[in-house]
Amino acid sequence: MRHLLSVRDLDRGAAVGILDLAEDMADVATRAVPRLPTLRGRTVANLFFEDSTRTRLSFEAAAKRLSADVITFSAKGSSVSKGESLKDTAQTIAAMGIDAVVLRHPASGAARVLADGQWIDAAVINAGDGMHEHPTQGLLDAFTMRKAVHGTASRGTGLDGLRVTIVGDILHSRVARSNIWLLKTLGASVHLVGPETLLPAGVGAWPVTSGTDLDDALAGKPDVVMMLRVQGERMHAAYFPNEREYSRQWGLDDARLARLAPDTMVMHPGPMNRGLEISSAAADSARSLVLDQVANGVSIRMAVLYLVLSGSEGRGAV
């Protein structure tokens, strides 16, 4: 694999292969010294033009566990226009001899622009491009679901028949988009729920069903309920009356939590707005996989870094 730009570039075999390799990487974490020499001498540059806590730290941890060097660039506060600063930064980084770039950028398509090779020659991993995609998040979510369903018998399996409901600010969510396409590839079915204003206009062309009533959706007893952050920073208009009303209609509050089937899994990519899209009781409940998602993110990113930096020739890493 040369780059990872979109989950839509992965067929089922490739997606399952990444999840399986991440299982091997997770095993490394349980060793006395949780580190492999595999990427010694390679340098990974984290270029973050948008805020991030877990994605940036997770890529950093993953690169270090594979013995790569990591440099991190945070563009917060830059006054240069976005296109120019991306080009300038990329070329500066390239001059330092970088093997892989992990890019988060507010513009949809930014990672693909970088990967076309005109500015730099490094492998590119999309760590979130605008409202478009966040492929490693989709992969870590699928990995988390697969582990919850199949446990130690996960290897080689997809998510056939799994019913996933994704709730909230679908419109602004690259996490939702990456999940939708990857879940489809892996055999799961996806239902979207949110205010009409936060369901994208083109949703009819996606491989999903959709609706606006959360209680109706939960009555269908989905296997997974994935809550999304209300992305205030991307909203330049009023998409819903107020926070109380949002929470009342689309929040996973304590009453809805109590009505979930016993084995329904609750997920959230973080960062969470506690009390808005998810209550603290739901976020911290035994059925919540939020911290599993974070832990699994490191294994997925180790697998992806390994694949883009050492060619796709196989699983000889561990």
Q: Check binding of 234 to ligand NCD (CB under 6 A).
A: no
Distance CA 178, CA 137 (A): 7
Interface residue with ligand NCD, options 42, 65, 134, 256 (CB under 6 A): 134
Token digits of residue 240: 């819903």
How many chain residues bind ligand NCD (CB under 6 A)? 11
Return the number of other C-beta atoms located less than 10 Å from residue 30's C-beta: 7
Q: Check binding of 6 to ligand NCD (CB under 6 A).
A: no
Residues sharing a CB contact under 8 Å with residue 127, sequence separation 6 or more, in sequence order: 46, 48, 52, 55, 56, 59, 102, 103, 104, 111, 134, 136
Q: Is 225 left (phi over 0), alpha (psi -120 to 50) or beta?
A: beta
Closest CB to ligand NCD among residues 215, 233 = 233
SS3 content of the chain, % helix, strand, coil (to 5): 45, 15, 40
Using alpha carbons, select from 102, 119, 105 the residue that is nearest to residue 45. 102
Query: Which residues inside 64-123 make contact with ligand NCD, applying CB under 6 A?
Result: none
How many residues appear in the chain? 318
Helix (H, G, I), strand (E, B) or coil at 68: coil
Interface residue with ligand NCD, options 54, 64, 87, 112 (CB under 6 A): 54
Q: Check binding of 55 to ligand NCD (CB under 6 A).
A: yes
Closest CB to ligand NCD among residues 36, 298 = 298
Q: Check binding of 174 to ligand NCD (CB under 6 A).
A: yes
Q: Check binding of 195 to ligand NCD (CB under 6 A).
A: no
Closest CB to ligand NCD among residues 54, 64 = 54
Interface residue with ligand NCD, options 158, 222, 251, 269 (CB under 6 A): 269
Q: How far is the CB of 219 from ligand NCD (least distance, A)?
A: 26
Q: How far is the CB of 134 from ligand NCD (least distance, A)?
A: 5
Pairing mode, strands 123-129 and 100-105:
parallel
Q: Check binding of 175 to ligand NCD (CB under 6 A).
A: yes
Q: Check binding of 132 to ligand NCD (CB under 6 A).
A: no
Interface residue with ligand NCD, options 147, 191, 229, 301 (CB under 6 A): 229
Q: Check binding of 128 to ligand NCD (CB under 6 A).
A: yes
Closest CB to ligand NCD among residues 6, 55 = 55
Interface residue with ligand NCD, options 137, 165, 288, 296 (CB under 6 A): 137
Q: Which of 211-217's residues contact partners 24+ apart within 8 Å by CB, and which partners?
A: 214/167, 214/249, 214/250, 214/256, 215/256, 217/165, 217/167, 217/191, 217/193
Q: How far is the CB of 248 from ligand NCD (least distance, A)?
A: 21
Q: Check binding of 136 to ligand NCD (CB under 6 A).
A: no
C-alpha distance from residue 265 to each of 64, 250, 285, 286, 314 (Å): 31, 17, 10, 9, 32
Following CA atoms 50, 51, 53, 59 in sequence, which dihedral angle do they give, to the nearest 10 degrees?
A: 10
Task: Return residues touching ligand NCD (CB under 6 A).
Answer: 54-55, 128, 134, 137, 174-175, 229, 231, 269-270
